[in-house]
Amino acid sequence: MLALLAGSKTMTFKFINPESLGPARGYSNGVLSEADGRLLFVAGQVGWNEQQEIVSDNFVEQFDRALANVIAVVHAAGGNPTHLARLVIYVTDKQEYTANVREVGAAYRLHMGKHFPAMALLEVKGLLNDRAKVEIEAVAVLTA
């Protein structure tokens, strides 16, 4: 269980990983939030900069920036990465993701540490921005 303090209120996440599903590696099967908090739904973020230009054609650099953009939204709402309860990662090429999984993991840990919310990875035919290779959407639970 992870307890977060914000002002005088405490929010807790209980990570749910039933033994029957085997060990969760790099994600949690479920996250139970017990909080007097608010839900933040973060729209899908791609690896672009302030001018809405894709930062690179490199998958890892796009992943890194997309996750940073998610966290920027969370910060703007008054939270931090440990408030993230769920991430949905869309990729246009699952093989490119798996070929770069170590570097993706390093970029993830740079932003998230060892906080592993519930996650899903989906391969999609394309994203709205033609150069985008990855898009990440999120749900965070912020203390009131």
pLDDT attached to residue 34: 72
Q: Given its phi and psi angles, is residue 63 left (phi above 0), alpha (psi -120 to 50 degrees) or beta? A: alpha
Q: What's the confidence (pLDDT) of residue 28?
A: 80
- The per-residue pLDDT for range 33-62, each reduced to its tens digit, is 776 678 889 999 999 999 999 999 999 999
| Mean pLDDT computed over 13-19 | 82
pLDDT of 4 strictly over 60: no
What's the pTM value of the predicted model, to 2 decimals?
A: 0.84
What domains, with CATH codes, occur in the chain? Answer: 39-143 (3.30.1330.40)
Question: Does 4 or 112 have the greater pLDDT score?
Answer: 112
Q: What does the alpha-carbon distance between residue 137 and residue 68 come to, in Å, rounded to a whole number?
A: 12
Q: How many CB atoms lie within 10 A of CB 130?
A: 8
Residues 6+ apart with CB under 8 A from 50: none
Beta-carbon contacts of residue 115 (< 8 Å; ≥ 6 apart): 2, 81, 82, 84
- pLDDT score, position 69: 96
Give percent of the chain with pLDDT exceeding 90: 69
Please name which of 79, 134, 72, 128 lies closest in space to residue 104, comparing C-alpha atoms.
134
**Distance (Å, rounded) from C-alpha 110 to C-alpha 104?**
10
Mean pLDDT of 81-96: 97
Give the Cα separation of 2 and 83 in Å (integer). 10
